[in-house]
Structure 1
Amino acid sequence: MKRKKRLLFLALLLGLWALFSWPTYHYPPPSDLRKKANYLERIIRTPESESTELAALGNAEWSLFSMSYSTYAFTNMAQLDTSFRAEAAHYTQLAIGRMLTGGIAQAFRNPDALVEADSVTSVLYLGHLNLMLGCHRLLDPASPYKALHDSLSASLHRRLATAPNHCLESYPGGVWVPDNTVALASLQLHSDLTGSPYRAFCQQWAAYARQHLTDPATGLLLSKPRTRHHAAEEPRGSHLGWSINFLYRFAPALAAEQYRLYQQHFSTNFGVIRLYRERRGSYETSEGDVDSGPLILGYSIPATAFAFGNAVALRDWRNAQRLRRVIRFGSREVATPQELHYGVRFVDLSVSPLAEALLLHAETMTPWRVIH
């Protein structure tokens, strides 16, 4: 009898494992997405001097990402629900306004620039700004940013084409591959919108990256290419997940390859959930750094969260559901009649606007179709 009970219990466990491993991810309902967008719109609309949420980030770069990833999420939502298009365009225009003035723009200005055109050279800032301009043009064909979008795209293309490694600096002496994938996605979107020739360069860059910007041992994209300022840096989980989200926009075949290799070399499948490491083969438990966040046996929250967006983008629904479970386990919903955002489960802590924007972007990943 005891043996039968143990067998029954084991069968129940296996049944539950199979049930929870089934590919059941679906986009959140439109009503929830609208409430999440309302929260981010309020953050964007609040004057800089009054925005306690953004001030709490204490980092202009993270404020920039809050604006840019909110915009990409709004654009995804408008593709999934065309009735949201006008609101998405309005919210995006507000976010672009924050990018062009105030603390974010000031943080990336070069005080030693001799001419205005050289006052900002960071591909981190310019790539995200250009992609946001393209998103607004996609959402609103009468966008007032057309001229700026055209000129900035031309500048980025010219600089990328002549740069060592075809990668530009984010900060003086600092070159990161993930930041350059954003700029390339912005050039692809410009081509989709206007017919400009930049898409050909995007394909050339993808071919170059396969040959020169990947780790020989894994085939995965390096975090940093070798430059005169620093040695090449190995692939990192948080950087790979980030890059794949933007490769998806201009080099989908390369994105799919990188996703498969990322999963192979950096992840552990526990059946009902999947976790991703920051560094291949690392079992480190530490505070990590600004990109990885805290590490537990080598596993990284950003690496896992970005992989969620990758899985949604590439329609790997089973893996998307596993990764969504990880996020749900660590978060709790904070709802009002107009807004929906998250807190940290088990402790009374809020989630930053950056994390909210990243999650909304990830859970709505979808192609951006241009209607001419």
Structure 2
Amino acid sequence: MGRIRRWAPRVVGIVVTLACLVGAGRLLWPQPGLDEQPGATTRQLAFVRDQLDEGSDTAAQELFPEGYVFSNVLYGLAWVQAAHTDSALRDDALRESRWALARLESDEGRAVFSPRLQPAYGVFWAGWTNWLRGAILSLDSTDTAEVQRFSTHSTEIAQAFSAAETPFLQAYQHQAWPVDSTVAMASLRLHDKLFDTKYTTVIDRWLVQAKARLDPATGLLPHQVSPADGSMMTGARATSQTAIHRFLPEIDPAFAKSQYSRYREQFVAYPGGFGPAVREYPRGVEGSGDVDSGPLIAGVSLSATVVAQGAARVNGDRALAAAIGAEGELLGLPLSLPGSKRYAFGLMPIGDAFVAWSSTARSLTEPTTALEPDLRWWWRLPWLGILTLMAIAPWAWTLAGCARRRWSAPETVTG
């Protein structure tokens, strides 16, 4: 027992030190470029699929109203994006993304949305479903029945926007969020990219109306609006901004560029010197977290920060995308196995779906133009400093004892 007591602290110390070295390696490991994706993408998607087969989408639905849709649509979209980067994945991507689309269009996928809305089941469900269908057709447009469905649903969405006095349609009865309409509008632009140009007038009208309803405090699209006229109810928040900036470059690159610059200036932060991370509320505004943002840590939303990686990639912001990716490898506690990869020990599979979607993000309608916005060159140093202190901490008493013995040892006098 005495030997165990002597060796136990040393074993713990070795484990802690090794864990810190692994963490430092993950932080410093080069991240994929804008036209690349993480090497573990297929293993991560394999984990998400296994969890979906076990009902993780139904479990996510119990956490928030869009849990089922997001679990499936992000899985399908991540596969499509991955196949656009690596053509060898095309067949797998088509099979899996079509499987995900079928789940969106199932009774369970539409259960919480109203068929009485315009478009049917609301703009959230219609927009994400239409975007996934178009994304699949961007890989393979030979299925004429699917092409017709894409055209039919796109027309329904376009007619709903044309008939409305507001650019922000309802996702639920009497509730509207601009981010949902942004996704739907991106699906119309994707239709025009892949097939006949039909919706330019609708898209141009939407842009004019949306620009007239920006949050005056930030100059960005608001978080929540009145479904009657699109007037702002809640100012810009990162939960919706990060998704908006994932899709806005698909619609209008010039408008997207100006909006992204404002977003980056007001939401990207370095709390306590650590970061970069994304605040839920713009600089100078404090607020509490909710079911969408999750709990806030020093004002930072972890979920928004994950989605921000995808927004950065599509906007050509390689520096921010790489930084968030590196922090995710450090703080996300990834567990890599031969056939799968998961974050946070796999406790929140929908989080893995968001990571896969964001880390593979790429534009489907417009080429990405690289940006070179400022990013603190020393952003890794605080993280490395903490890792160094943690690595040394288990040996502090031993090192202090060595130092005491060194300075208390009598000097040898020679003569």
TM-score category by the smaller chain?
0.7 to 0.9
* Equivalent position SS for 1:96: helix
Q: 1:369 to 1:77 in 2, by over 3 A?
A: farther
CA distance in 1, matches of 2:269, 2:166: 32
1:195 corresponds to: 196
- Distance in 2 of aligned mates of 1:324 and 1:127: 27
Change in CA separation of 1:250 and 1:231 when aligned onto 2, cut-off 3 Å:
closer
Shift of 1:232: 2.4
Letter of the structure 1 residue corresponding to residue 110 of structure 2: A
The aligned counterpart of 1:77 is 82
2:333 alignment partner, SS class? strand
TM-score (norm 2): 0.73
Q: Which residue of 1 aligns with 2:179?
A: 178
CA RMSD of aligned residues (A): 2.9
- 1:25 corresponding residue in structure 2: 31
* Alignment partners' CA distance in 2, 1:274 and 1:24: 16
Residue from 97, 110, 115 that aligns with 1:92: 97
1:226–1:233 CA contact under 8 A, matched in 2: no
Residues 31-77 of structure 1: per-residue CA shift (max 9 Å, x gap): 41121222233344x2xxx52x2233114511101111122211211
Taking a change above 3 Å as real, the CA distance of residues 155 and 188 of structure 1, as seen in their structure-2 partners, is same
CA deviations 1:125-163 (Å, max 9, x no partner) are: 111111111112122222342222111100100111221
* Correspondence for 2:47 among 25, 39, 46: 39
Match of 1:233 in 2: 234
Q: CA deviation at 1:200?
A: 4.2
Shift of 1:227: 4.2
Q: Is the 8 A contact 1:60 1:103 kept in 2?
A: no
Instruction: Please give the alpha-carbon distance, in whole angstroms, between the structure 1 residues aligned to 2:250 and 2:50.
Output: 28
The answer to whether residue 341 in structure 2 is matched with residue 340 in structure 1 is yes
Q: State the partner residue of 2:280.
A: 278
Deviation at 1:307, TM superposition (A): 1.9
- The count of residues paired between Structure 1 and Structure 2 equals 335
Q: Secondary structure at the match of 1:232?
A: strand
The equivalent of 2:135 in structure 1 is: 135
Using the alignment, how far apart are the partners of 1:119 and 1:264 within structure 2?
35
How far apart, in 1, do the equivalents of 2:29 and 2:156 lie?
43
Change (3 A) 1:83 1:203: farther
State the alpha-carbon separation in 2 of the partners of residues 91 and 333 from structure 1: 23
1:56 matched to 2:64:
no
Shift of 1:283: 6.7
Distance in 2 (alpha carbons) for counterparts of 1:118 and 1:241: 25
After TM superposition, the structure 1 stretch with the greater mean CA deviation from structure 2, 151-160 or 293-302, is 293-302
Determine whether 1:221 maps to 2:217: no
Question: Which whole-Å CA distance do the structure 1 matches of 2:223 and 2:338 have between them?
Answer: 42
Shift of 1:333: 2.1
Q: Deviations over 1:186-226 (max 9, x none)?
A: 1111111112321443233223322x221223211111234
Unpaired runs of at least 5, structure 1:
1-19, 344-348
Higher deviation after alignment, 125-134 or 135-144: 135-144
Tell me: CA distance 1:358–1:36, structure 2 relative to 1, closer, same or farther (3 Å).
Answer: same
Q: 1:109 to 1:216 in 2, by over 3 A?
A: closer
2:367 paired with 1:359: no
Partner of 2:155: 154
C-alpha distance in structure 1 between counterparts of 2:206 and 2:27, whole Å: 37
Shift of 1:29: 5.9
- Bigger radius of gyration among the two: 2
Q: Which residue of 2 aligns with 1:101?
A: 106
In structure 2, runs of 5+ residues without a counterpart are 1-25, 367-415
Mapped partners of 1:65, 1:107: distance in 2: 13
Secondary structure in structure 2 of the residue aligned to 1:190: helix
SS of 1:340's partner is strand
Matched with 2:122 is: 122
For 2:166, the equivalent position in structure 1 comes to 165
Conserved? CA contact 1:285–1:294, under 8 Å? no
TM-score by length of 1: 0.81
Q: Tell me the SS of whatever aligns to 2:40.
A: helix
Residue 358 (structure 2) pairs with residue 350 (structure 1) = no
